[in-house]
Amino acid sequence: MAALPFSPTCGKSNSALHPNYSSSFTPRNHFCRLFAIRTTCSSRKVRRRRKLCVKNVASDKRKELQEPVTEQGSLDKFMPDSTSITSSIKYHAEFSPVFSPEKFELSKAFFATAESVRDNLIINWNATYTYYEKKNVKQAYYMSMEYLQGRALLNAIGNLQLSGPYAEALRNLGHNLEDVANQEPDAALGNGGLGRLASCFLDSLATLNYPAWGYGLRYKYGLFKQLITKDGQEEVAESWLEMGNPWEIVRHDVSYPIKFYGEVISGENGSKQWVGGENITAVAYDVPIPGYKTRTTINLRLWSTKVSPQEFDLKAFNAGDHAKAYADMKNAEKICYILYPGDETLEGKTLRLKQQYTLCSASLQDIIARFERRSGKTLNWDTLPDKVVVQMNDTHPTLCIPELIRILIDAKGLSWEKAWDITKRTVAYTNHTVLPEALEKWSLQLLQDLLPRHVEIIRMIDEELIHEIIAEYGTNDLDLLQQKLQKMRILENIELPNSVIELLNNSKEISAIDPTKEVDVNDEKIKAAEKEEEKEKEEKGVDGDEQSGKVEAGKETRLTFKVDPKQPMMVRMANLCVAGGFSVNGVAEIHSEIVKETVFNDFYQLWPYKFQNKTNGVTPRRWIRFCNPDLSNIITKWIGTEDWVTDLEKLAILRKFADDEDLQLEWRESKRRNKIKVASFIKEKTGYVVNPNAMFDVQVKRIHEYKRQLLNIMGIVYRYKMMKEMSGEERKRRFVPRVCIFGGKAFATYVQAKRIVKFITDVGATVNNDPDIGDLLKVVFVPDYNVSVAEVLIPGSELSQHISTAGMEASGTSNMKFAMNGCVLIGTLDGANVEIREEVGEDNFFLFGARAHEIAGLRRERSEGKFVGDPRFEEVKAYVRSGVFGAYKYEELMGSLEGNEGYGRADYFLVGKDFPTYIECQDKVDEAYRDHKRWTRMSILNTAGSYKFSSDRTIHEYARHIWRIEPALLV
């Protein structure tokens, strides 16, 4: 292993996904042994006797299952009925136990049911993998730090078209399918839209039969579980794995070594060897992802980290030093403990970087091993981009670029030129943000310590990039060149490479240019070179004036660009993604234009062919068909087919029925039934009782200042203040009853976001207990918002708020889910809102606020003291400060909306600027809601116009324009 430190430990896999795998107890054969348990009992005191009868309901398929799948497919479609499913569930309750045998309660029923479903999935899972291996198809690999999957049971049986048989089977066993499904915890593998998008993409990839895998990390505790107390948000560890995960299969034979720290040793032939340091192992956990109405079942491979048992220091343990005994084990395991560990400390930053490298290294080693195995004797590294494409979901997987180069050079013996060329044709990058703080940067020193070989490679990439910039712009205009390098370099505030300095000093244009004095930037190699140069000058008798930067005519000088020794040296990961990837895409039309015009404008000028737009989408299976069956049945009835579930463009047919009174009546009744479910859910989760006849106004998403939950709650405070100033009769005439629902997590160290959560809950506590207001206004914060909560709230919502500061939301995906479910949106022209408004119609979208192109000017006006706040906004701030919502002091929160400059001041997100148009737009919402026919028509047209926002459409575009992969259909 020392000679090949990064070769996989699974040279020839025995994985159940591998075509040569064989076992007397494979899940496939195991599914074919379905047991029917018969119980007889003469009295309650008589001990039950069980007769286990083997029922081979699938035995006629066994021989075929053992044969490899042909191009046409030798597996006939096998659809279990409720009888065989009942036997399968009984079998798992008896022989795959994670609970005691005495009772068959809901939790036990869930696990037995999930394992029964997994048996079905494994049949297709193995067949899919075998087919990909045999055909050696080009495969896409989606790299993401997050996968916000939600519960899997109903989604899986829905995709398998077995919802009816499973419901009947569970009724036979004394349970309700919905109650059983509610026992499943959400997989705590993600946080927000980034992770939900990744999961939607996997669903669409499988449904559309595209050959693809997802790669991520198996977080033991997820982000955190959110509790809402009198102090606001509190965080506790997620417990989603406490009782095990029936969907995953650990692959003990699929593991790869991961290295940190150490040093790089150069060989005589120029080779590099990364030695020493800290060594851990990444182990694969596989989760099946089934497609809808297709046998294709793709794989989500999650990595968990560990060290070998030999690392346990038994001597230290027996000597009483227990912490030292298992220090190495805990150090390895903690890499996969938490999603996004706090990075306020060096330890937190180091852990985050370890997570990112673990994902990249383990996944790429796995991908390379698969490429080599499929290539066999015809292995040709030049063909890697023809068989593999790696999509980086945001900048978290950026280390894929230097890691792929490292593997190709150090482990596979390729030259730098070839490895760099292959990498640039293999890796693609999706940008998800224009926020400066979200464009990831890492300390060069931290990277140097943790990943010394990768820093060498990043320096080489930076050098290649600089030479390409110089080739494009020349050296005539050094001011322009310096501007380009400052914006485009991967290494920030770091000296130019020697090769570039020599190029600049050897160029003919230098004689006509004033030299720029070099600045000491504490780089050891540059320092050594400078000392040597100074020594040579002293020996040659160079005078002091020349050394101080004064140059005599005809004398040679050393030219470089200034850096600031007081500023940190950083690595800009987004710039590395653009330089090292063959494609860069934004996730909404407006976002992609901002990416080209602002965020990466210099790169766009250099490589315009790299930049694309791929507007996000969501899967209509989970987000209409399964979470809103009532509405789905209405859609199917009026469209005349259920094909819309995989061809969402058919939703447009609803437009011609939008004014039909019968459809409107059915539509309203469906929405009311969903609202009753939401009201029951709110009572269960918060204790608040809300009226289903009120408008349900919802804003659920990650808590962040730019998403402007603060604008929403300030608008609610204004509404409440106005109500309190009116008589009872007047307020009933003036206001439509509303239930204002919030949900979302504030990052644990994001103080201002947590203040916003506290503020919302304080307003709710006051308003909800005010007898003068009653059902006219309720404010509810639903704790621990996740996919399962969204699946309840979204079908019952009527107004949804997507009110981010224009130009700051890349896309959003919840806006798409709400529109699909007939919810009317209020929002700014930001992210996908722009395209949603175009598709559903301007009259069916409540628009307010400044436009993206105005934002910079408005902030400049603010800094110049020209902004004058709306009197109504000033009244609301004073009202909050009066203490009406409790003793908590909101000075920091209100203060952030005041002043003209300074950190945490000056209303950077323009809450005050947009407040007047926001509350005026809310008056228009009330007016529209009073007209039931108008509102229902708007609701129908939102669903009808949402067809563009299917993740199926997005994935088709990725597959055709970026990945260049074709469907591989198992028949």
Which residues are known to be catalytic? 432, 701-702, 707, 813, 817
Beta strand segments in 713-836, E: 738-743, 777-782, 799-802, 824-827
10 Å CB burial of residue 287 (0-12, 13-18, 19+) is buried
d(CA 554, CA 859): 50
CB 876 within 8 A of CB 912: no
CA triplet 546, 547, 549: central angle to 5 degrees?
Answer: 70
CB 127 within 8 A of CB 295: yes
Provide long-range contacts, Cβ within 8 A and 24+ apart, for 681-690. Answer: 681/782, 681/789, 681/792, 681/793, 682/739, 682/741, 682/780, 682/782, 685/782, 685/783, 686/228, 686/780, 686/781, 686/782, 686/783, 688/764, 688/768, 688/778, 688/780, 690/739, 690/775, 690/778, 690/780
Region of residue 964 (left: phi > 0; alpha: psi -120 to 50; beta: else):
left
Q: Assign 3-class secondary structure to 527-566.
A: HHHHHHHHHHHHHHCCCHHHHCCCCCCCCCCCCCCCCCCC
Q: Tell me phi and psi for residue 716, to 5 degrees.
A: -65, -40
- Which residues, other chains included, contact 343 with Cβ-Cβ below 8 Å and sequence gap of 6+? 349, 352
Hey, is 113 helix, strand or coil?
A: helix
Other Cβ atoms closer than 10 A to 863 = 13
d(CA 917, CA 367): 52
Structure tokens at 443: 């300390």
CA 261 centroid distance within chain: 28
- Which residues, other chains included, contact 867 with Cβ-Cβ below 8 Å and sequence gap of 6+? 858, 861, 900, 912, 913
Which helix or strand (DSSP H or E) is residue 859 part of?
helix 855-863
| Residue position matching structure tokens 């290294």 | 361
Q: How many distinct helices (H) and strands (E) make up the chain? A: 39, 24
Other Cβ atoms closer than 10 A to 284 = 27
CB 296 within 8 A of CB 970: yes
d(CA 877, CA 222): 36
